[in-house]
Amino acid sequence: MRSLALAVRAAVIAVAITAPAGAQETAPPDYRDDRSSAETVIESLYNAVERREYLRAWSYFRDEPDRPTFEAFAAGYADTRHVRLKLGRATGEGAAGSTFYSVPAAIEAETDRGRQVYVGCYELRLVQPGVQITPPFRPLGIVKAKLEPSAASFADAAGTCPAKGLP
């Protein structure tokens, strides 16, 4: 197996700006659906969450055993008003016709209860397009995710991925 390191923007991706309390809500961010890299899949996931397009957000998860049900997934965002995302350096490794990626992430969620920072890791898989010969085509998608609350500020927060992958 060959390990590849992918250079990733470490810049904060603010998916939208929340209006102050009592102010008129801002328009949702522009639609973004980009499955060309592990990073852009995660960015697209949070674009969908910010736009409250939970079915689209759920679709970034591959249909595999760890995929949450749509109902449970959508319920988890019921009181989310705004999200911000910061990605770390992604890594990828190929194995038997697939490439697996790990993407460290920090998320700040603003809900009715206030703001909470979460840190953790997303794992994604791409079955090489050249070996996919039976419909439907399966694009790069999330296989697993583990995020935990953090006491760090969003500015200081950083996700990490285990060296041997998520359990």
The pair of structure tokens assigned to 22 is 């009592």
Looking at the domain assignment, is residue 106 inside a domain? yes
Dist. CA 17–CA 26, nearest whole Å: 7
Residue 15: is its pLDDT beyond 70? no
pLDDT band for position 25 (50/70/90)?
Answer: low
**Assigned domain for 28 exists:** no
Q: For residue 21, tell me if it sits in a domain.
A: no
The answer to whether 80 touches 49, Cβ cutoff 8 Å, is yes
Coil vs helix vs strand at 102: strand
Q: How far apart are the C-alpha atoms of 150 and 158, rounded to whole Å? A: 9
CATH of the domain at 134: 3.10.450.50
Kindly report the average pLDDT of the chain as a whole number.
Answer: 86
The number of domains in the chain is 1
Give the span between the Cα atoms of 35 and 69, in whole angstroms.
21
* Closest-CA residue to 40 (of 67, 64, 62, 13): 13
pLDDT digits 0-9 by tens, 30-85:
999 999 999 999 999 999 999 999 999 999 999 998 899 999 999 999 999 999 99
Identify whether 166 is part of a domain: no
Assess if residue 123 is contained within a domain.
yes
Q: Is 65 helix (H, G, I), strand (E, B) or coil?
A: coil
Sign of CA dihedral 77, 62, 44, 121: positive
Q: Indicate whether 25 belongs to any domain.
A: no
Question: Does residue 116 lie in a domain region?
Answer: yes
